[in-house]
Amino acid sequence: MLLQETEKSTGGPIPEGPKLSEIMTARDGILLVHKPLHLTSHDVVDSIRELLKTKKVGHFGTLDPLATGLLLIAVGKATRLFPFFSKHDKTYRGRIRLGFSTDTFDTEGKPMSSESKSYPDQIKLEQAMRSFLGKIDQIPPPYSAKKHRGRPMYAYARQNKQIKTQPIRVVIHSFQLLAYEPPHIDVDVHCSSGTYIRSLAHDLGQALGCGAHLARLERTAIGSFSIDKSYRLEDLKTLVQKNNYEAFLIPLESLLPEMSKIILKESGQILAQNGNMIFAENIQKAVPPDKFSSYAQSEDQTYRLFSPEGSLIAFARKDPDGNGLHPFLVIDTVVSDK
């Protein structure tokens, strides 16, 4: 639930954040990109770097070249927000092909057995899908970017080296059947970060006894961000040519609204920019407007610190030894981070 901005009765109006056109020279923010088929996530990052003429670009969550859909692209100081976005749940829409598994768990791999046409009926299929709900231990695909001793798994697989990997704990919130026309299954998956849909398809085939692999995949959501709000690379190029950055770039000040917002006095801004402790006397307003001593219900709660003018300065947590806030990630959008 998003926090509603209110103000103390003794204070003035809450300052509005700077307009994007006023901070556009820094190009700090997040954009939602609809990744096309066959491009890697790094290819998309390179395209955005060239488009925006800035090197400080990264992504929050890789998509395989054979997958399409939503990529969160960070620009400028937004690249420092990876810890906040890397754990967001993901939603996918995909197609699973029954009949045989492959060594890559998708259509690019070599079949690992002859084709079986003993397809399950829909009742058995849905029962098997339900068995994957909740917390499960999942083995990453042999051909994946997951690291083993500093090297990605696909590097070992290409050398025909079999690496015994430890399972990872993931959460499957929902695994819905959209359509079943054997040998194809269309599904919708809502899962925790770190889940491999290729592994889910492979494991489903093993559970059904007929083998399976992932035939198609589209990521439709990351946390609260939806593919409906994303832009294709050609559309972004057109918007940049029109100098219409406000259409696609989400500024830092609008990100992570679920975190409480604290507007600092000038003294607090200087302290925060230098990573120093913030106390009640350095705060102009809090949103919601609780007393400073009762801000944090837990030491892990994170707060966004803003300048008096409304620019995001830093992220802070309550100091365990006192009543102050300790900035642990200083952003300070005043200075460009090109």
Q: What is the pLDDT of residues 59-100, one digit of tens each?
A: 998 898 999 999 999 999 999 999 899 889 999 999 999 999
What average pLDDT does range 103-131 have in this prediction? 94
Residue 140: predicted pLDDT:
87
Q: Are residues 32 and 14 in the same domain?
A: no
pLDDT of 61: 87
CATH code assigned at 316: 2.30.130.10
pTM for the complete prediction? 0.82
259-292 residues labelled b (16+ CB within 10 A) or e (exposed): bbbbbbbeebbebbbeeebbbeebbbbbbeeeeb
State pLDDT tens for residues 182-236.
Answer: 999 999 999 999 999 999 999 999 999 999 999 999 999 999 999 999 999 999 9
Q: What is the pLDDT of residue 45?
A: 97
Mean pLDDT taken over the chain:
85
Examine the domain organization and report whether 277 and 324 are in the same domain.
Answer: yes
Range of the domain at 18: 1-26+256-338
Give residues with Cβ within 8 angstroms of 174, minimum separation 6: 133, 188, 189, 190
106 is catalytic: no
Residue 2: CB partners within 8 Å, gap ≥ 6? 257, 258
| For residues 155-169, average pLDDT | 66
pLDDT(152) > 70: no
The CATH number of residue 205's host domain is 3.30.2350.10
Catalytic-labelled residue, pool 28, 64, 203, 332:
64
Cβ burial of 195 (10 Å; 0-12, 13-18, 19+) is buried
Residues 163 and 239 in one domain: no
pLDDT in tens, 43-68: 999 999 999 999 999 999 889 899 99
In this structure, the answer to whether residues 152 and 202 fall within a common structural domain is yes
Assess whether 289 and 241 both reside in one domain: no
| Total domains in the fold of the chain | 3
